Amino acid sequence: MSAPPRRIRKSWRTWLVGRRLPTSDAAHEAIGKRLGLAVFASDALSSTAYATQEMLTILAFAGLVGFTYAFPLAISIVFLLAIVTLSYLQVIHAYPGGGGAYTVARDNLGVRPAQVAAAALLADYVLVVAVSTSSGVAHLASAFPGLLQHRVTIAIVLVLAIMVVNLRGTKESGKIFAVPSYFFITVMLATVVAGLARYFFGTLPRVADTPPMSHAGSLQAISVFLLLHAFSSGTTALTGVEAISAGTTAFREPRSRNAGLTLLAMAGILGTLFLGITFLAERAGAVPSEAETVVSQLARTIFDGRGFLYHAVIAGTTIILVLAANTAYNGFPRLSALQAEDGFLPRQLTYRGSRLVYSRGIIALACLASLLIWIFDASVTQLIPLYAIGVFLSFTFAQVGMTRRWWKSGRLAPGHEARERGSVLRHDPKWRWKMAANGLGGMATAVVTLVFAVTKFREGAWVILIVIPAMVALFVAIRAHYLELGHNLSLDAYGAPPRVLRHRVILPISGVHRGTVAALRYARALSHDITAVHVSVDADQTRRLEEKWGLWGNGVRLVTLTSPYRLLMEPLLEYIERVADLQQPNETLTIVVPQFVARKWWHNLLHAQTAVMLRLALLYRPGIVITNVPYQMADEEEPSGADAPVPMPASAGRRE
């Protein structure tokens, strides 16, 4: 008869993130195209809320005439979007195991380029969370100006709220975020359609009560540098396109097909909204401003004031900007888990939590993003220059990596295949065309990366140019540690394990009590050579301890160390060091430490925690084993009478 399943006790954690899911439920947690669009496309779609404004902010340096270049620049950005989308569509089908630019670079370009791509993507994911939540709060403050002074607090609270939702699992977070994501798509498409209809019917008014433009300095002439600067700001609309390729494993089978269709749908909606908003902003006379966003100006102009439809647009925009962080919460943990599997990040990031998501990666992302929001005061203008350079760098590595993949495919004979870490490589009869397309795309994104680095350098892009190499150096150091650890732990050429012929045990005691007796009982199971050590700071107390040890010590010798300066740890450590220096070959020195375990966590604050301090002090001393013997305080009342422990004579049970 099998035992009934153990009932899991509900706690605050169960209420917060949900019940635990068994590993067998992993397939049921996969998502389809509809949920996939809500989970992975929110970042890319949300960029339509600020990409036009960031582009106009740069063009404003040329005055109102500069705004006439906004729509042609938007067309060129959408053309670049098409190139990047087609490239990542190939990545999805070639690498169904996910990983995006990291996997492509690792399998085709080598370890170091892969780490650069990973650093760029991880930095971008952190910035996605910081920028999207800060931008969402900025839109909220456009409708309710009184919230502006609390934007940092509100942004961090939103980051933590999205973290909690993602800890509940990919499928559940997708269900929670699907409604607001599709609400944003609906209201923004309705706004663009209504605005275009009013424009072509000649009823679209100019923006009334335009806020002050957010640019500093004197007007300047239109130049190639200014246009490139505006172009690089507008390319923030492409951020998030890579997320689906990195998280392909989240989709249900057939993974590649579902992920590819989701990517095409996302790119189509993104291009339509970006072109529509930019066109209407120029025709309606919207201006970039910190006081009111371009989307807010368009909404109140198209819908004739701040009525219901206006607030629906602001609500939808604010929600999607906040939910854009959800894309990073799915991309960052998966990418960091892949890197951890390869040994470039802590192994703990590969562990799935109770809801089958990479919980540690989710929490790490929330902490890093909150730190950025606090440092940059939740200012979108200050965060944007740090933003897109990382993602375009990853675009470049993905395109160049795919170019090399098609070249390798052309070297294979038809019908032959080669297995790589992330995929299976087969001969493709169209490899020349695909290689040319990815090569062209790689050059385009490389140029954009260079333009972004140059034009945004003074505004803060130099930070990312320092951070990415620093991250790569950290990855390499972590990898070197794991390689060294593996070499030291390897049993290759190890020979026969050395025999332990003798145990020597030291038992530090501060008093004689039940915990001491329990530790002594354990020590006697290890060896006959036991020395109890007591550090004396009070003669009377030491005398009473020695008398009590005579009753309970079971004949084990007691060494008393006098401490005239009332130090506790130092005399004990010196004694242990002296004994360790006399240690013989094939002899093990074990420190058995009695440790009291309190019933409540705050009870630990009332005790000295000597066991913990001793373990930390001796942890790095070779040849010494530290063993804690915990003594748990019983829930019942203290025993008395016949149940009380009986003292043992000094000779009882002693082994000669």
Least confident of 46-55, 215-224, 230-239: 215-224
What pLDDT, on a 0 to 100 scale, did the predictor assign at position 1? 43
Domain residue ranges in the chain:
38-405+435-480, 502-643
Mean pLDDT over 246-255 rounds to: 84
Which fold, 38-405+435-480?
A: Amino acid/polyamine transporter I (1.20.1740)
Report the run of H or E that residue 170 belongs to, with start and end. Answer: helix 170-200
- Taking the CB of residue 329, how many other CB atoms lie within 10 A of it? 29
Mean residue pLDDT across the chain = 83
Q: ∠179-278-228 over CA atoms, to 5°?
A: 120
List, as own/partner pairs, every contact residues 472-478 make where C-beta atoms lie below 8 angstroms and the sequence separation is at least 24, other chains included: 472/112, 472/115, 472/116, 472/119, 475/115, 475/118, 475/119, 475/339, 475/344, 475/345, 476/115, 476/344, 478/343, 478/344, 478/345, 478/346
**Residue tagged 């299976």 (tokens):** 424
Confidence of residue 169 (pLDDT cuts 50, 70, 90): confident
What pLDDT, on a 0 to 100 scale, did the predictor assign at position 13? 63
Confidence of residue 157 (pLDDT cuts 50, 70, 90): very high
Q: Report the percent of the chain where pLDDT is more than 90.
A: 29
CATH superfamily of domain region 502-643: HUPs (3.40.50.620)
Q: Which residues are CB-contacts of 475 (< 8 A; sequence separation ≥ 6)?
A: 115, 118, 119, 339, 344, 345
Confidence of residue 524 (pLDDT cuts 50, 70, 90): very high
- Give pLDDT tens digits for 68-119: 899 999 999 999 999 889 888 888 988 888 778 899 999 999 999 999 999 9
What pLDDT, on a 0 to 100 scale, did the predictor assign at position 12? 58
What pLDDT, on a 0 to 100 scale, did the predictor assign at position 276? 94
- Give pLDDT tens digits for 406-432: 999 888 888 888 888 878 888 888 888
- Give pLDDT tens digits for 562-576: 988 878 888 999 999
Q: Which of 528, 542, 471, 508 is nearest to 612 (CA)?
A: 508
This prediction's pTM: 0.75
Q: How many Å separate Cα 620 from the centre of its chain?
A: 31
What pLDDT, on a 0 to 100 scale, did the predictor assign at position 25? 67
What pLDDT, on a 0 to 100 scale, did the predictor assign at position 192? 94
What pLDDT, on a 0 to 100 scale, did the predictor assign at position 655? 33
Q: What does the DSSP 8-state code read for residue 96?
A: T
Confidence of residue 488 (pLDDT cuts 50, 70, 90): confident
Cis status of the peptide bond prior to 254, with omega within 30 of 0: yes
Note whether 239 and 47 are within 8 A (CB).
yes
Note whether 189 and 313 are within 8 A (CB).
no
- Taking the CB of residue 5, how many other CB atoms lie within 10 A of it? 6
- Give pLDDT tens digits for 595-638: 888 777 777 777 767 777 887 888 777 778 888 888 887 654 44
Q: What does the DSSP 8-state code read for residue 493?
A: T
CA atoms of 399 and 385, how far apart (whole Å): 23
Confidence of residue 14 (pLDDT cuts 50, 70, 90): low
What pLDDT, on a 0 to 100 scale, did the predictor assign at position 16? 66
CB burial of residue 59 (10 Å; 0-12, 13-18, 19+):
buried
What pLDDT, on a 0 to 100 scale, did the predictor assign at position 307? 87
Q: Which residues are CB-contacts of 371 (< 8 A; sequence separation ≥ 6)?
A: none
CA atoms of 83 and 394, how far apart (whole Å): 14
State yes or no: pLDDT of 123 exceeds 50. Answer: yes
Q: List the end-to-end C-alpha distance of the chain, in Å, as a whole number.
A: 49
What pLDDT, on a 0 to 100 scale, did the predictor assign at position 178? 85
**Residue tagged 């070297």 (tokens):** 411
Look up residue 317 and give its two tokens: 């925009």
Sign of the dihedral through C-alpha 462, 466, 472, 475: negative
State yes or no: pLDDT of 274 exceeds 70. Answer: yes
State yes or no: pLDDT of 640 exceeds 60. Answer: no
Note whether 136 and 321 are within 8 A (CB).
yes
- Taking the CB of residue 291, how many other CB atoms lie within 10 A of it? 15
Note whether 128 and 324 are within 8 A (CB).
yes
Mean pLDDT over 144-150 rounds to: 81
Note whether 614 and 623 are within 8 A (CB).
no
- Give pLDDT tens digits for 284-296: 988 888 778 888 8
Q: Pick the more confident residue, 249 or 384.
A: 249
Note whether 184 and 316 are within 8 A (CB).
yes
